[in-house]
């Protein structure tokens, strides 16, 4: 089982948007209320999933692999990329929690994409990542 789940799924509940907080995360799987309170404004249509896949190929595949197993080329550089097909998500599995992990980052390996990926595209990414997990 992959211990460092989904690049972390969520983070900074209180800090300024886009800034990584010096927040400790438990080693076991946990959830984040701030992420659970967010609603995905982008319906998970086939067009959204396709757009998310395009963004995934350019921004995520190198670590998380072609099919989200955490086996991308950069996975051998010392970090442990999350396996998006695994049933356990380290920082929560809600759309909002996944969104915050991507936007705000959680570790030196999974840094923030705020300012690099538009928020709407992050929501498309969430839809694509959830499709990898079958839901």
Query: What global pTM score does this model have?
Result: 0.78
Three-class secondary structure of residue 58 per DSSP: helix
Percent of residues, the chain, with pLDDT higher than 90: 53
Q: Check residue 52 and give its pLDDT.
A: 98
Q: b/e per residue, 70-83, with b = 16+ CB within 10 A?
A: bebeebeeebebbb
Residue ranges in the chain assigned as alpha helix (H)? 33-36, 46-59, 61-64, 95-104, 119-132
Answer whether residue 13 shows pLDDT above 90. no
Three-class secondary structure of residue 45 per DSSP: coil
Top-tier CATH class for 5-12+28-132: mainly alpha
Q: Write the pLDDT tens digit of every residue in 97-134.
A: 999 999 998 888 888 999 999 999 999 999 999 999 86
Q: Check residue 25 and give its pLDDT.
A: 66
Distance CA 69, CA 2 (A): 9
């Amino acid at each position: 089982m992959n211990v460092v789940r989904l690049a972390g799924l969520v983070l900074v509940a209180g800090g300024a948007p886009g800034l990584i907080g010096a927040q400790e995360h438990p080693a076991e799987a946990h959830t984040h209320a701030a992420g659970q309170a967010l609603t995905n404004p982008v319906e998970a249509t086939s067009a959204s999933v396709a757009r998310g896949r395009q963004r995934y190929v350019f921004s995520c595949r190198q670590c998380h692999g072609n099919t989200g197993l955490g086996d991308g080329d950069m996975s051998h550089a010392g970090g442990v990329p999350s396996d998006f097909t695994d049933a356990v998500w380290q920082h929560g599995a809600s759309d909002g929690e996944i969104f915050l992990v991507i936007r705000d980052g959680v570790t030196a390996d999974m840094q923030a994409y705020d300012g690099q990926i538009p928020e709407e595209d992050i929501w498309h990414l969430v839809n694509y990542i959830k499709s990898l997990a079958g839901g």
